[in-house]
């Protein structure tokens, strides 16, 4: 094989002939794209370097033999098997940039552009420090580089702010994102041009703002009520605030204040004023993601709003465009989960990091921000600060119960610096009084399941929210025996479709004024649009109690709804939920019993954070706030949902049964798995034996399905001997 033949990056077979993309063509194409992406955070030269050198390892003779043999282009060559080509570019970067001492960012990015960002130093050989000693990988390559247009040396300047310990790891990860997205796009353009041509066909931010303005004008022409006037006033405040400079803002609005639309008014105004690229909305619950996305699609058009979460259900013909947009978030409006956003910001894998550079110079809306997990609060706050300060991201934190994230947060070893922000609603106290629709009372006596059942059975329409699945099941059974009216149970032992069907049943009865009693875990507090005259809430954190209150007299049909906070005998709260309940009790002991007051909310969160043993459980500061970050270990540690779970698909309803039959007959597929997400229940791996005893069949990768309906109740969902029911639910 001649030297010039050793120049294949990718190959495809079209219309009976082979077409090759040269390494030089690919590297220069990737460099151009990566440079453009990185220019958004003043790192164009670094993006260009990564692109130029990322695939020079493909000049190795073994790689050329592999691509020719594996593709079938040359059947006379013996395939040497998979050949690692990424290390060569990293070693070359160290050689070329060593004197400047700034080879590490390029080395990290190139070495990990397939395998993921490495630890710098760890046990074994899968770390960057070891790979950079493998100088032999450049044998036979150096001399070839002199015959190409790939530059040998160019050291760009680096923004000094990127060297801040808290920003350094994110700067490298953003550079990595630029490289892997550019690599994927240039490869796709050559290999899958039809897919490539479908990218980027979205409305402009200016056009989307016009659509929102038209929608709001039509909305205002409807019935003029006092609540609509208050919502209009909130939108006016958001419109004015949105014209301000980039920064961190808070929007503290009670339930029913029209937070979703108001936050979009602010975002569209802010995007216009600051030339922001897109709006990313992160939400703690999948149910609210779906609800919010549906509202936004009705305003901006379905193609301009991309949902990115595990339960998304996409039509087959729209599947390609959705898949492409979720790969790199190049759509104007992204609606996703906190898990997807924050785990990606601390991820090391190519697929999860690819989209990150498209957050630069964008707007990030954090809905129900009080749900950010306390044990990871320090790295979350730190990354938000870095996104705003170094990457031009404006952040809006919205909720009815704004957490105290300013100044010094926590105490002792858990202490760290918070965020400085600007509140949009300057007179929060007045707004909360205007929208106050409930009175909250606290019951001193402790209840048993039976005594509480007797109490709530006195009402025709009542919601009772408890802390654990066990409490929900036991109380439901006690109420079911005593009540003469329909009783509904809701918990995550039920699949999503089951929960949605039950909620539709509840809404129908409420709309017709019919009697209904609902016993639920806190899943019903997750943005569920439902309205009861009376709500009972088991003692918990102040924010949870306030969320439950948001399901009471929601439409303002009564002068005041009734919220009753109670406790069970021998209540078994655990972990952070126990500390949150203790902080709420501290407020009561201090006479601060107005749990809907913003002042009490702030005092509660200060108290709660002071009880935490750690706010950096993943040890992110130790792993990443250093000159040589350990990306892989940090990614493994940083999980918003820590427990290892297994997925059980259940044959609920006619559609669920059909999907299960299809699964058993045709086997798994990505399309079917997406459809089945609505028919799945997640439980801990250590419950595997009980699930198998129910007749569950394993499909691999901790995925099971129930072969019949005997293990799934139409009332309470998955049932088995389940000590997990005692665990506190954190959705």
How many CA atoms does the CB half-sphere of 96 hold within 13 Å? Answer: 23
How much is the average pLDDT of 586-591?
96
What would the pLDDT profile of 63-102 be if each residue is shown by its tens digit?
Answer: 999 999 999 999 889 988 888 999 999 999 998 887 666 8
pLDDT at 516: 98
pLDDT at 448: 96
Q: Can 3-198 and 205-370+395-400 be said to share one CATH topology?
A: no
Backbone angles phi, psi at 364, to 5 degrees: -115, 115
Cα–Cα dist 522/338, whole Å: 18
pLDDT at 81: 85
401: helix, strand or coil: coil
Backbone angles phi, psi at 147, to 5 degrees: -95, 5
Beta-ladder partners of 252? 399
Structure-model confidence comparison of residues 722 and 223, the more confident one = 223
Is residue 397 very low, low, confident or very high in pLDDT (cuts 50, 70, 90)? very high
486: helix, strand or coil: coil
Residues with Cβ within 8 Å of 292's Cβ and at least 6 positions away in sequence, in order, are 260, 281, 283, 335, 367, 527
pLDDT at 287: 82
What would the pLDDT profile of 413-459 be if each residue is shown by its tens digit?
Answer: 888 999 999 999 999 999 999 999 999 999 999 999 999 999 999 99
CA triple 578-583-584, angle to 5 deg: 95
Q: Which of 536, 532, 529 lies closest to 552 in space, CA to CA?
A: 532
pLDDT at 317: 54
Is residue 723 very low, low, confident or very high in pLDDT (cuts 50, 70, 90)? very low
CATH tag, 3-198? 1.10.3210
What would the pLDDT profile of 597-635 be if each residue is shown by its tens digit?
Answer: 999 999 999 999 999 999 999 999 999 999 999 999 999
Residues with Cβ within 8 Å of 518's Cβ and at least 6 positions away in sequence, in order, are 462, 463, 464, 487, 488, 490, 506, 524, 532
Report domain extents, the chain.
3-198, 205-370+395-400, 437-595, 645-718
User: Which contiguous run of DSSP H or E holds residue 366?
Assistant: strand 363-367
pLDDT at 26: 98
- Both tokens of 73, joined, read 């282009």
What would the pLDDT profile of 301-339 be if each residue is shown by its tens digit?
Answer: 999 999 998 777 666 556 778 888 999 999 999 999 999
- Both tokens of 45, joined, read 């030269």
pLDDT at 714: 93
What would the pLDDT profile of 350-381 be if each residue is shown by its tens digit?
Answer: 999 999 999 999 999 999 999 999 999 999 99
Structure-model confidence comparison of residues 572 and 470, the more confident one = 470
What ranges in 132-225 are assigned the alpha helix state H? Answer: 142-145, 165-191, 193-197, 205-220
Residues with Cβ within 8 Å of 534's Cβ and at least 6 positions away in sequence, in order, are 459, 461, 462, 463, 552, 561, 562, 563, 564
Residue 136 DSSP symbol: G
pLDDT at 70: 92
Q: Which CATH architecture has domain 205-370+395-400?
A: 3-Layer(aba) Sandwich (3.40)
DSSP states of 582-628 as a string? HHHHHHHHTT---TT-HHHHHHHHHHHHHT-S-S-TT-HHHHHSSSS
- Both tokens of 455, joined, read 């109490």
- Is pLDDT at 576 greater than 90 in this prediction? no
Q: Which CATH class is domain 437-595?
A: alpha beta
Lowest average pLDDT, out of 85-89, 272-276, 672-676, goes to 672-676
Q: Over pLDDT 70: what percentage of the chain? A: 94
Beta-ladder partners of 305? 333
- Both tokens of 107, joined, read 């080395």
Q: List the beta strands (DSSP E) in 213-294.
A: 248-252, 279-283
What would the pLDDT profile of 678-711 be if each residue is shown by its tens digit?
Answer: 899 988 888 787 888 777 777 777 778 887 778 8
Cβ–Cβ < 8 Å for 93, 109: no
Cβ–Cβ < 8 Å for 97, 157: no
Is residue 728 very low, low, confident or very high in pLDDT (cuts 50, 70, 90)? very low
pLDDT at 731: 40
646: helix, strand or coil: strand
- Is pLDDT at 239 greater than 80 in this prediction? yes
Single pTM value for the model: 0.93
């Amino acid at each position: 094989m001649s030297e010039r033949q050793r120049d294949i990056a990718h190959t495809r077979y079209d219309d009976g002939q082979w077409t090759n993309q040269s390494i030089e063509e690919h590297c220069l194409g990737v460099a151009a794209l990566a440079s453009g992406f990185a220019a958004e955070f003043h790192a164009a030269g670094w993006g260009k370097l990564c692109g130029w050198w990322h695939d020079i390892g493909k000049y190795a003779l073994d790689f050329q033999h592999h691509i020719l043999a594996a593709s079938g282009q040359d059947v006379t060559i013996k395939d040497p098997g998979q050949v690692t080509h990424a290390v060569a570019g990293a070693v070359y970067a160290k050689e070329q940039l060593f004197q400047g001492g700034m080879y590490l960012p390029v080395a990290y990015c190139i070495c990990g552009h397939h395998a993921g960002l490495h630890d710098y130093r760890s046990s074994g050989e899968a770390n960057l420090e070891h790979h950079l000693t493998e100088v032999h990988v450049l044998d036979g390559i150096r001399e070839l580089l002199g015959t190409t247009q790939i530059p040998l040396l160019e050291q760009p300047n680096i923004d000094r702010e990127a060297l801040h310990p808290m920003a350094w790891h994110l700067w490298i990860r953003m550079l990595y994102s630029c490289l892997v997205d550019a690599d994927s796009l240039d490869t796709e353009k050559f290999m899958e041009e039809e897919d490539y041509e479908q990218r980027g066909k979205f409305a402009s931010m200016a056009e989307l703002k016009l659509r929102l303005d038209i929608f709001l004008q039509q909305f205002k022409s409807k019935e003029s009520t006092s609540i609509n006037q208050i919502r209009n006033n909130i939108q006016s405040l958001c419109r004015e605030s949105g014209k301000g400079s980039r920064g961190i803002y808070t929007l503290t609005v009670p339930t029913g204040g029209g937070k979703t639309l108001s936050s979009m008014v602010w975002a569209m105004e802010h995007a216009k004023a600051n030339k922001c690229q897109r709006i990313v909305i992160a939400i703690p619950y999948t149910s609210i993601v779906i609800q919010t996305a549906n509202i936004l699609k009705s305003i901006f058009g379905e193609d301009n709003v991309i949902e990115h979460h595990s339960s998304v259900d996409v039509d087959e013909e729209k599947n390609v465009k959705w898949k492409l947009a979720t790969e790199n978030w190049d759509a104007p409006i992204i609606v996703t989960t906190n898990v997807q956003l924050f785990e990606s910001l601390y991820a090391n894998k190519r697929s999860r990091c690819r989209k990150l550079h498209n957050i630069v110079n964008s707007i990030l809306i954090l809905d129900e921000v009080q749900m950010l997990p306390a044990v990871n609060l320090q790295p979350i706050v730190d990354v938000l600060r870095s996104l705003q300060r170094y990457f031009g991201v404006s952040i809006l934190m919205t909720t009815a119960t704004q957490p105290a994230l300013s100044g010094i947060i926590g105490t002792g070893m858990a202490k760290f610096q918070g965020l400085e922000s600007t509140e949009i609603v300057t007179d929060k106290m007045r707004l909360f009084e205007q929208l106050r629709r409930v009175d909250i009372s606290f019951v001193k006596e402790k209840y048993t399941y039976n005594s509480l059942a007797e109490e709530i059975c006195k009402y025709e329409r009542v919601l009772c929210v408890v802390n654990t699945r066990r409490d929900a099941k036991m109380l439901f059974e006690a109420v079911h025996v005593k009540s003469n009216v329909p009783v509904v149970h809701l918990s995550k032992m039920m699949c999503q479709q089951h929960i949605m069907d039950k909620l539709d049943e509840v809404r129908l009865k409420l709309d017709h004024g019919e009697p209904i009693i609902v016993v639920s875990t806190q899943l019903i507090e997750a943005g569920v649009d439902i309205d009861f005259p009376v709500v009972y809430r088991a003692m918990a954190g102040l924010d949870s109690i306030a969320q439950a209150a948001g399901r009471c007299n929601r439409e303002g049909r009564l002068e005041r709804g009734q919220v009753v906070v109670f406790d069970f005998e021998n209540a078994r709260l655990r972990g952070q939920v126990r500390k949150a309940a203790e902080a709420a009790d501290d407020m009561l002991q201090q006479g601060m019993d107005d749990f809907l007051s913003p002042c009490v909310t702030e005092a509660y969160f200060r108290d709660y954070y002071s009880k935490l043993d750690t706010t950096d459980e993943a040890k992110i500061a130790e792993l990443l706030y250093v000159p040589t970050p350990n990306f892989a270990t940090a990614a493994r540690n940083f999980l918003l949902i820590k427990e290892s779970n297994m997925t059980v698909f259940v044959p609920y309803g006619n559609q669920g049964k059909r999907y299960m039959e299809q699964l058993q007959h045709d086997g798994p597929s990505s399309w079917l798995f997406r459809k089945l997400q609505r028919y799945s229940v997640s439980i801990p791996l250590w419950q595997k034996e009980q699930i198998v005893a129910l007749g569950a069949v394993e499909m691999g990768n901790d995925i099971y399905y129930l072969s019949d309906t005997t293990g799934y109740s139409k009332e309470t969902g998955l049932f088995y001997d389940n000590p997990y029911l005692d665990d506190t639910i954190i959705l």
